[in-house]
Amino acid sequence: MIKYLGSKRRLVPVLGELFAGSGARTGLDLFTGTTRVAQEMCRRGMDVTAVDTASYSEVLAQCYVEADADTVDAAEVAGALDRLACLEPVRGYVTEVFCERSRYFQPRNGMRIDAVRQGIDDLYGDSPLRSLLLTSLLRAADAVDSTVGVQMAYLKEWSRRSARELVLRPPVLTPGAGRAVRADAASVVDDLPHVDVAYLDPPYNKHRYFANYHVWETLVRWDRPEPYGVAAKRADCRDAVSRSVFNGRRTMPAALAETVRRVRADTVVLSFSDEGYVALPDLVEMCRARGQDVRTLSFESDRYVGAKIGIHNRAGEKVGSVGRLRNVEHLVLAGDGDRLDAMVARVAALQEA
């Protein structure tokens, strides 16, 4: 899966046990990002709706949540990827903006990304395979990028992985046909169907996903925006419309409280980092406002790799000290007390195993 700030890679087994312990058959992943958690819901046999504002998340959700592993023809996917992989490299937008003007990819790979991306529109624009092919390209590009996992900057020296060849691999699909929804969680929350369990993993501080992953946004939209600044970001990164209410220190707590209160689910699982704008007691209060029982679980984990490398100026000199290297991810559960206890017991059993 692509490198992503706040991705719940390590928490997925825990979340899977929580979902199973709740007995849920329907699930909502309201800030789905990479779709990792939604995929786990699918693997647990749930009917899943995945929501995010990002275009790349929508494509990932169309691939991993909407497409059904049991009905997609694997040979057809493999054939399409082979066809795209054979296209003649071209010097297009990616090469010019993300390899020459900035340095996210080595030009050799940038030219292949250009050819494959245009090929997807030309050859598979109306195909049901489109989201699978785009997902394959996103993952292939992520595997040869030259960043520490965010696209606000690229490395001064090429990363070792950027020298590798771009390889298109078939995505590993999940069973069941769910729904991908590209929408603002705060606006859409009342329109979503009632579910057994809703998972909420909102942004927890000022770091905006739209700007941090502008390369993926552009690669999916393929709208060739005017780039600006050293990071060659999309011009619309500066627009108010690309800002999330969940990234504002003043706007986030009320928006989150409202969303938690309104989401239509028997059980809510709310993820939040101890580095976020809202402290654990306030998260508990937000969940209590649903009129349900509440339990909390906390997990310590490594911070993202950029935190370990430290803070550098444009010349690559260290200008700040390395902050703390571990953070705590809180899970606040709201629902029927007996059901929550059964969920927590599954996690305890997992940790003892």
Ligand X SMILES: C[S@@+](CC[C@H](N)C(=O)[O-])C[C@H]1O[C@@H](n2cnc3c(N)ncnc32)[C@H](O)[C@@H]1O
Query: Which parts of this chain interact with ligand X (CB under 6 A)?
Result: 4, 6-8, 31, 33-34, 36-37, 51-54, 57, 184-186, 201-203, 209, 244-246
Closest CA to 274 of 254, 255, 299, 304: 299
Q: To the nearest whole angstrom, how small is the minimum distance from the Cβ of residue 120 to ligand X?
A: 22
Q: To the nearest whole angstrom, how small is the minimum distance from the Cβ of residue 54 to ligand X?
A: 4
Q: Which is nearer to ligand X, 51 or 197 (CB)?
A: 51
Q: Which is nearer to ligand X, 275 or 293 (CB)?
A: 275
Q: Which is nearer to ligand X, 29 or 196 (CB)?
A: 29
Buried b (16+ CB within 10 A) or exposed e, 122-142: ebbeeeebbbbbbbbbbbbbb
Alpha-carbon distance of 109 to 99, in angstroms, equals 9
Record the tokens describing residue 228, joined without a space. 């600006």
Residue 185 in contact with residue 31, Cβ under 8 Å?
yes
Inter-axis angle of helices 130-142 and 107-124, to 10 degrees? 180
Q: Which is nearer to ligand X, 99 or 198 (CB)?
A: 198
Q: To the nearest whole angstrom, how small is the minimum distance from the Cβ of residue 37 to ligand X?
A: 5
Q: Beta-strand (E) ranges in the chain?
A: 26-29, 47-52, 179-182, 195-200, 227-228, 233-234, 265-273, 293-302, 311-312, 318-320, 326-335
Q: To the nearest whole angstrom, how small is the minimum distance from the Cβ of residue 330 to ligand X?
A: 13
Give Dmax over CA atoms of the chain in angstroms: 60
Residue nearest to ligand X (CB): 33
Q: To the nearest whole angstrom, how small is the minimum distance from the Cβ of residue 33 to ligand X?
A: 3
Q: To the nearest whole angstrom, how small is the minimum distance from the Cβ of residue 12 to ligand X?
A: 8
Q: Which is nearer to ligand X, 55 or 136 (CB)?
A: 55
Q: Which is nearer to ligand X, 3 or 130 (CB)?
A: 3
Closest CA to 119 of 82, 67, 156: 82
